[in-house]
């Protein structure tokens, strides 16, 4: 029972120890906004952590100034940490206080998992596509379905939740 | 609510795919399992519906199962519709079809409704909102 690590692993560790002072190369990331007079879409791409908080905050400030519903398009978000998620939650609370909605669109499987693990997922609506998010916001804004319930009795897994909310996202 | 929107439920065995006009969107109804032999007419009907009116209601009340060819068709139709800014709404998919969509991680991609009336109502509200925002620009 020899517990010595494989040779390859040792070499890699030794090699890396020379560069411990260097920060890891930052993943490219961006926050861009589109405004289409019903919803403001903020597109996030890349990896989000403490270093990106200020730019994300600027994005949310922009969205707040537009005074519209917000779609946070996270298709190309590779990873997101709690500082950024905290901003998302705060932005959603601000939006709700002003009578508007913030939704997330098209998370990757990993990000979906993060949203679920942090409990953000049922709290903030998540849609599978940006188009569906926009359609749902438009319908909601125009008064929704008077009396009609877009609920399903066909899928017990979603618990008959409202449809067009992609409640049963990726898993 | 605009009454019973469709009376297309008349089973038409020699025509498995039907294209009807609804108040807010075209309705494509399938009266057969979504298999290889239905794929061709269904593809044509969906393409025609999207080209004509944009959003489409796909009535799956009488379709109980779906094979891989049918799934592929649905995905391609969705992508084509999306390119044209249209949505394909599913009405009353069977549990089999819902399970297939879930397994292929496609649930949540299509808006799903219980019946055609609800789907039409939803699309009507969407069209109104869309009309308002194009009028504003």
Residue of B111, B131, B135 to mutate, testing the A interface (most A Cβ within 10 Å of its Cβ)? B111
pLDDT above 90 coverage of chain B, percent:
72
Task: Give φ, ψ of B82 to 5 degrees.
Answer: -60, -40
Predicted local confidence at residue B30, as pLDDT: 95
| B71 interface with A at CB cutoff 8 Å | no
Task: Tell me whether residues A169 and B108 touch, CB distance under 8 A.
Answer: yes
| B130 interface with A at CB cutoff 8 Å | yes
Say whether pLDDT at A82 is over 50: yes
Predicted local confidence at residue B108, as pLDDT: 86
Predicted local confidence at residue A36, as pLDDT: 73
pTM of the predicted protein model: 0.73
Task: Tell me whether residues B82 and A131 touch, CB distance under 8 A.
Answer: yes
Say whether pLDDT at B122 is over 60: yes
pLDDT band at A155 (very low <50, low <70, confident <90, very high): very low
Task: Return the CA Rg of chain A.
Answer: 20
Find the closest chain A residue to B86 by CA distance.
A131
Sequence-distant (≥ 6) Cβ neighbours of residue B86 within 8 angstroms = B50, B54, B55, B56
| B85 interface with A at CB cutoff 8 Å | yes
A 10 A CB-CB count for B62 gives 16
Helix (H, G, I), strand (E, B) or coil at B27: strand
**Closest CA–CA distance from residue B120 to any residue of chain A (Å):** 10
């Amino acid at each position: 029972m020899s517990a010595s690590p494989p040779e390859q692993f040792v070499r890699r560790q030794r090699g890396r120890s020379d560069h411990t002072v260097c920060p890891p190369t930052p993943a490219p990331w961006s926050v861009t906004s589109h405004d289409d007079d019903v919803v403001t879409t903020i597109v996030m791409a890349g990896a989000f952590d403490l270093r990106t908080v200020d730019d994300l905050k600027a994005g949310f400030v922009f969205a707040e100034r537009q005074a519209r519903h917000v779609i946070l398009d996270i298709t190309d978000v590779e990873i997101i940490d709690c500082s950024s998620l905290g901003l998302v939650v705060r932005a959603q609370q601000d939006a709700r206080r002003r009578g508007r909605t913030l939704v997330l669109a098209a998370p990757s499987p990993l990000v979906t998992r993060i949203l679920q693990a942090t409990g953000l997922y049922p709290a903030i609506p998540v849609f599978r596509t940006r188009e569906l998010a926009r359609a749902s916001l438009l319908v909601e804004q125009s008064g929704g379905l008077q009396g009609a319930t877009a609920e399903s009795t066909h899928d017990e897994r979603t618990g008959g939740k409202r449809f067009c909310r992609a409640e049963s996202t990726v898993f | 609510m605009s009454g019973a929107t469709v009376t297309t439920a008349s089973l038409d065995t020699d025509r498995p795919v039907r294209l009807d006009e609804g108040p807010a969107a075209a309705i494509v109804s399938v009266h057969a399992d979504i298999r290889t032999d239905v794929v061709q007419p269904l593809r044509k009907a969906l393409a025609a519906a999207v080209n004509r009116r944009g959003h489409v209601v796909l009535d799956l009340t009488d379709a109980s199962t779906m094979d891989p060819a049918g799934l592929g068709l649905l995905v391609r139709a969705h992508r084509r519709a999306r390119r044209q800014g249209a949505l394909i709404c599913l009405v009353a998919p069977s549990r089999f079809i819902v399970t297939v969509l879930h397994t292929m991680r496609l649930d949540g991609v299509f808006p799903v409704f219980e019946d055609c009336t609800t789907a039409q109502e939803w699309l009507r509200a969407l069209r109104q909102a869309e009309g308002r925002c194009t009028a504003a620009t």
